[in-house]
Structure 1
Amino acid sequence: MGTARIPWVLCGDFNIIKDDSERRGGRPRPFVAMEEFNQCIQTCGLLEMCSKGPNMTWCNGQGGQARSWARLDRCVIDTNFLNSFSNVSYQVLARSTSDHSPLVIQMGENLFRYGPSPFRFQYMWTDHLDFYSFVDGVWKREGLGHGLINISSKLPRVKVALKEWNKSVFGRTNIIIKGLEARIDYLESRLQVSFNAEDDSDLLASKLKLSTWLGREDTRLAHMAKKIWLKDGDQNSKFFHAYLKAKLHKRVQEMSMSDGRVLQSPLDIHTAAVDHFQEFLGQSSSRVLPNLSDLISPIITNEDNLNIGRDPSIEEVKDALFSIPIDSSLGPDGFGSGFFRVCWDLVKDDLLSAIVEFFHSHMLPKNFTASYIVLIPKVDKPSGFDKFRPISLCSVV
């Protein structure tokens, strides 16, 4: 299946669950059987299709404590299917005469988008021979002010320059890869008819270029997919691309409100989410906490206090920066730790100056306090906003 060019969708009663959370009541399923099912899905390169409706698709029909439910029915697809039909889902209908719920596959409209994607630093850029010298030329231009203001003026400048550089140097990597693959097919077909030294040399050069571009695409997609458990040599652009589509494919399609309304429009869900969490995060606690300071003995000496309050060294700044994973989620400025690691020799003096200034002034410009609020589902298929946990994504600096 993994090498087939025809899209595959497998839908129906698999008579097994993926893990014990996919049942309610009844006896636990054999662990070996569940592992074999999961291994089969992974070996075949299959992905779970997005579903709507009840999570359990089967009921034994018995009464009282003997009744049990399980998710025995599902739809799984391969990467070819997901690439061809990116917005497909299935609806779990109510059971009637059967003990299994009917499944109806639905081909949806194009995914709703809220506007242009924000800037994200692409770690694949760092593999280009001209990357460092290009950033060097932009970063060394005179900034505005000093310290934090200087950093806040240089990062947007680098962002604008990198976006233009990406367009001219990289373009759309998937189009370049398809062009090189077509070129290789063409050259091989010519060489199969008759050998030509020029075509043979062109074929080798095209294969080297394709290998380079595939590596860049692997780096870009792996960073976006956050598949940090994959080691060098395990990357597969097709898998990463499908994985990202599958994540987008699992977007929230409906949301139940406390007043009984069910929102299905992406814009309505978006607006309601903003209203809900603005109210939730804006609440202030009315609790009065007791003053327990008299019960706590001071254990920090004057020497310790001076040591804690001293200016940080360049080594401490570097250690803190390099401890941030390269694939960590990006904040509003779009620059992850990978940029600062690769460009450390360029940015270290400006970074240290900005951090020392903060230690002295205790003031942060407004743009440094900005963050993204991201909603993390607490459960599979969350149905209400109370089933999400808000977290903040801050910038590196």
Structure 2
Amino acid sequence: MGDFNTIVSINEKNGGSNRLTPAITEFRDCLLEAELVDLRYKGIFFTWNNQSFGEACSAKKLDRVLANSFWHSIFPQLECTFLPQGGSDHNPMVVKLTITLNPHKAIPFKFFNAWCFHPHFFSIVDKQWKTFIHGTSMFQAIQKLKSLKQPLRDEYRDKFSNLKEKISKVKLELDRCQAELDHKTFDADLRNLKKTLSAEHSRLLLAEEDVIRQKSRITWLKLGDSNTSYFHKSFLSRSNSKRILSLTSTTGEPITTPEGIKAEALAFFKHLLGENPPPQHGQEILGPFITKTILPQHIPLLESIPTDLEIKQCIFSMSKDKAPGPDGFNAYFFH
């Protein structure tokens, strides 16, 4: 942390020349090489200015707090605050090291594509899908998906947890087998064992990469290129950015406790939206603002029930990692 005397991009500068200098590109390349990213921060963005006026005024983000993925994994709730300058031409930085432990929350169900390649997957789905449920077709589908969650959790909780540890264990056994084959080249049992361990090692590697990729939501990289490290860093970055560690109240007071943040957010939206819904119907409220409507002959088309083929084409046209609903089953499950 400190004053690096340069910026990462021209977006971190206000005033003066917008030319991309060698110092900027070298600093950016240095951060990429060292795998350093900014610690989550709030407060003042431009941390330095030249104390001038008019066209001569210039402000830059020269000060920053950097950390690698290991630091983010150990201290996921840390954040930096850039305070007003005071008497200096730089803004002071304060890193909050107090870790607030949030109460345990139930983890929602999430379907992972790697489960499909496990030998018992289709038998589990087939068993739950053959269960008789009384009701409409849509109700039956929803209830069967709900009943399927717990058997999948029970089956794959252990098999797909601690994948890194399992990969290391299989790799160690594979290395030992290969070393022994160096002395027993024609041993059929050792060769079969090596084949089995190699297949298991490859399966676990792909499963780990696929699981982390889904968590990171990076869809533009293909599997099989050993992108696990990149996916893991992206996942940590997403997890850190989704956390709300502090808020500023309407009176300007900082709020850092989970209970206080929850109460402040609730009070803010109650004030913004009101506690009671308006008496008017949606059509009466939005009607004056809608200037274009569909033609009467198009209404039956919108009201018609889609065919099974249309539903299948819609689902199969979706990206495999997109979820049709909040139930945790993505499009790949239905593919």
Q: Please give the range of the TM-score, normalised by the shorter of the 2 chains.
A: 0.7 to 0.9
Aligned 8 A contact 2:48 2:60 in 1 = yes
Q: Percent identity?
A: 26
Structure 1 residue 290 displacement after superposition? 6.5
Q: How many residues align?
A: 326
Instruction: Report what 2:221 is aligned to.
Output: 230
| Aligned-partner Cα distance in 2 for 1:267–1:117 | 20
Distance 1:105 1:195, change over 3 A: farther
From 314, 333, 337, give the equivalent of 2:331.
Answer: 337
| Aligned-partner Cα distance in 2 for 1:135–1:52 | 47
Instruction: Report what 2:99 is aligned to.
Output: 109
Q: What secondary structure is seen at the aligned counterpart in 2 of 1:137?
A: helix
Structure 1 residue 154 displacement after superposition? 0.9
Instruction: Report what 2:59 is aligned to.
Output: 69
Q: Say which structure, 1 or 2, has more relative contact order (CA 8 Å, 6+ apart).
A: 1
Q: What per-residue deviation string (whole Å, max 9, x for no partner) do you get for residues 274-308 of structure 1? A: 44345545654978666799x9898444xx55554
| Aligned-partner Cα distance in 2 for 1:92–1:296 | 48
Q: How does 1:338-357 map to 2 (within 5 A)?
A: 338-341=332-335
1:80 aligns with 2:70: yes
Stretch deviating more after TM superposition (147-156 or 280-289): 280-289
| 2:18 alignment partner AA | P
| Aligned-partner Cα distance in 1 for 2:326–2:315 | 17
| 1:18 alignment partner AA | V
Structure 1 residue 118 displacement after superposition? 0.8
From 254, 257, 260, give the equivalent of 1:262.
Answer: 254
Distance 1:305 1:298, change over 3 A: closer
Aligned 8 A contact 2:69 2:236 in 1 = no
Instruction: Report what 1:135 is aligned to.
Output: 125
Q: How does 1:243-282 map to 2 (within 5 A)?
A: 243-250=234-241, 251-277=243-269, 280=272
Distance 1:185 1:290, change over 3 A: closer
| Aligned-partner Cα distance in 2 for 1:22–1:173 | 40
Q: What secondary structure is seen at the aligned counterpart in 2 of 1:30?
A: coil
Q: What per-residue deviation string (whole Å, max 9, x for no partner) do you get for residues 121-146 of structure 1? A: 11221222332232112111112322
Structure 1 residue 316 displacement after superposition? 0.7
Q: What secondary structure is seen at the aligned counterpart in 2 of 1:276?
A: helix
1:144 aligns with 2:134: yes
Structure 1 residue 327 displacement after superposition? 2.4
Instruction: Report what 1:209 is aligned to.
Output: 200
Aligned 8 A contact 1:14 1:73 in 2 = yes
Q: Unaligned regions of 5+ residues in structure 2, if any? A: none
Q: What secondary structure is seen at the aligned counterpart in 2 of 1:333?
A: coil
Q: What secondary structure is seen at the aligned counterpart in 2 of 1:252?
A: coil
Q: Unaligned regions of 5+ residues in structure 1, if any? A: 1-10, 342-397
Q: How does 1:1-397 map to 2 (within 5 A)?
A: 11-30=1-20, 34-95=24-85, 98-109=88-99, 111-184=101-174, 195=183, 202=193, 205-250=196-241, 251-277=243-269, 280=272, 284=278, 299-301=295-297, 306-328=300-322, 331-341=325-335
Aligned 8 A contact 1:47 1:246 in 2 = no
Aligned 8 A contact 1:89 1:108 in 2 = no
Distance 1:212 1:274, change over 3 A: farther
What's the TM-score once normalised by structure 1's chain length? Answer: 0.69
| Aligned-partner Cα distance in 2 for 1:185–1:84 | 31
Distance 1:156 1:273, change over 3 A: same
Structure 1 residue 164 displacement after superposition? 0.9
| Aligned-partner Cα distance in 2 for 1:146–1:216 | 36
| Aligned-partner Cα distance in 2 for 1:183–1:84 | 30
Q: What secondary structure is seen at the aligned counterpart in 2 of 1:115?
A: coil
Aligned 8 A contact 1:79 1:239 in 2 = no
Structure 1 residue 102 displacement after superposition? 4.2
Structure 1 residue 232 displacement after superposition? 3.2
Distance 1:259 1:97, change over 3 A: closer
Q: What secondary structure is seen at the aligned counterpart in 2 of 1:27?
A: coil
| Aligned-partner Cα distance in 1 for 2:37–2:103 | 23
